[in-house]
Chain A
């Protein structure tokens, strides 16, 4: 039996009627047409589908949309404000923290939370903080540099 949910996505609250088994990532991509959130492994390993649910990073392939009822969701599309990209997005551009780009939205969402919790992380803390996000290009070096750069720029 479909269930009605109210979810605030990137600042806009909407009411939708969804199948209980609809995943949060499907809800964002297919109902909201927000395709910046990617589906990688679909088994909660790779982190490509990472979004913020009530301010905390989560793998949206492992949450049902009904669990987000009454919550706020932020996707990579919601990070920029007034046409200005988020400092972490700017840092990934500046330090070339991406190769093919598939893991990038998830990497950025995890990095944003990492810097909110720890504004001045060591390299080890960055590597540990993003260990739930896999980059199949193995472009970790520049991703770590980008997170460091974002932290430095925010000082």
Chain B
């Protein structure tokens, strides 16, 4: 039986972040890091990507595991979607992340796809980029020399493009503890076949005295070239009691950061995505407010 075959490549399996970074330098932009491979391997089979070398990260222990710290959660970049959805630390410390991970693709993909691979790939329809944005996560990187801490809202740069440098490896994602009286929700309109988000909205809402919104984080995926924070909508929510009309007005501004550049493809027109962004934003913010109880 004939299968689609990728171009030939060298296979490397480093045991440390420094070694992985050295290999990235060695292949000078033609080496690709391999995490779960569930975005990269299909691209290679279609020959949309033909790296000279695959640098398999699965042998690096520093990239594994979920730690609960005094400040929140520290999640290794090689943590799979299944580990996220089934971890009691993530379910209690960042239920938004556990819930969004459970909505990714299907069981087989969730068993091998990783959070680090997902955010580093910056697929415009990926579920976890809006979640790390809404949770004010920090991306911690490593290389041969030293590491960096990159706030999530400076990490996603463009279509399939992040702030990672050519020789940099994403080591972990740090997620701060949520304040008291905070509710979260991720709601997406999933493509029926792939379960990728046609549009998806993550909302994190903190309520104060009298039900006034003290802090709002809203982030959008699927609609534009990369996941974005919806700062204009957040400003409408903050400082107000979140009655239905306030949430509706804010939801109308959730796509504002895209400046009209909504994605258009075989699955949905730009106009449809824009309309659905408002619908799903309203659902996500309403659900987050209800959870903040």
Contact flag A42-B3 (CB < 8 Å), given A63-B37, A67-B37:
yes
User: B107, A132: Cβ atoms under 8 Å?
Assistant: yes
Contact with B107, one of A20, A43, A114 (Cβ below 8 angstroms): A114
Q: Could you say which of B5-13, B91-99, B226-234 contacts chain A?
A: B5-13
A21 with B8: CB separation less than 8 A: yes
Residues on B with C-beta less than 8 A from A58 are 108, 111-112
Q: A56-B111, A58-B111, A63-B41 are in contact. Are A131 and B106 (CB under 8 A)?
A: yes
Given known pairs A19-B8, A20-B8, the reply for A42 and B45 (CB within 8 Å) is yes
B107 & A110 in contact (Cβ 8 Å cutoff): yes
Contact B108 A47 (CB under 8 A): yes
Q: Which residues of A contact B11 (CB under 8 A)?
A: 3, 20, 64, 66
A45 partner residues in chain B, CB cutoff 8 A: 193-194
Question: Contacts A56-B111, A63-B112 known; A21 to B7 CB distance under 8 Å?
Answer: yes
In the complex, which residues of chain A have a beta carbon less than 8 angstroms from the beta carbon of B3?
23, 25-26, 39, 42, 61
Query: Which residues of B have CB within 8 Å of A59?
Result: 108-109
Q: Which listed residue, A3, A39, A64, A113, touches B1 by the CB 8 Å rule?
A: A39
Which residues of A, 65-109, contact B by the 8 Å Cβ criterion? 66-67
Q: How large is the interface on A (under 10, 10 to 19, 20 to 34, 35 or more residues)?
A: 35 or more
Q: Chain A residues near B45: list those with CB within 8 A.
A: 42-43
Question: Bound complex: CA of A29 vs CA of B1, how far in Å?
Answer: 9
| B58 located at the interface, meaning its Cβ lies under 8 Å from any Cβ of chain A in the complex | yes
Contact A43 B42 (CB under 8 A): yes
Interface of A is mostly: mixed
Q: Indicate whether B201 reaches chain A with its CB closer than 8 angstroms.
A: no
Nearest Cβ on chain A to B101's Cβ, whole angstroms: 14
| Residues of B within 8 A of A (CB-CB), count | 31
Q: Are B8 and A42 in contact (CB under 8 A)?
A: no
Given the interface contacts A42-B45, A114-B107, A132-B106, does A62 sit within 8 Å of B8 by beta carbon?
no
Closest to B6 in A: A21
Q: Flag whether B56 is at the interface (Cβ < 8 A).
A: yes
- Does B4 belong to the interface (CB within 8 Å)? yes
Convert A100-134 into 0s and 1s, putting 1 for each residue whose CB lies closer than 8 angstroms to a CB of B.
00000000001001100000000000000111110
Contact of B105 with A by CB under 8 A: yes
CB of A44 closer than 8 Å to a CB of B: yes
Cβ contacts under 8 Å, A132 to chain B? 105-109
What residues of B have a CB within 8 angstroms of the CB of A129 in the complex?
107
Q: A-contacting residues of B (Cβ < 8 Å)?
A: 1, 3-11, 34, 37-38, 41-42, 44-45, 54, 56, 58, 82, 105-109, 111-112, 193-195
A-B CB contact pairs (8 Å), 21 listed: A19-B8, A20-B8, A20-B54, A21-B8, A21-B44, A29-B1, A39-B3, A44-B109, A56-B82, A61-B3, A63-B37, A63-B41, A64-B37, A67-B37, A67-B58, A110-B108, A129-B107, A130-B107, A132-B106, A132-B107, A132-B108
> Would you list the 8 A-B pairs with minimal beta carbon distance, nearest first?
A132-B106, A56-B111, A20-B11, A132-B108, A21-B6, A62-B41, A57-B108, A59-B108
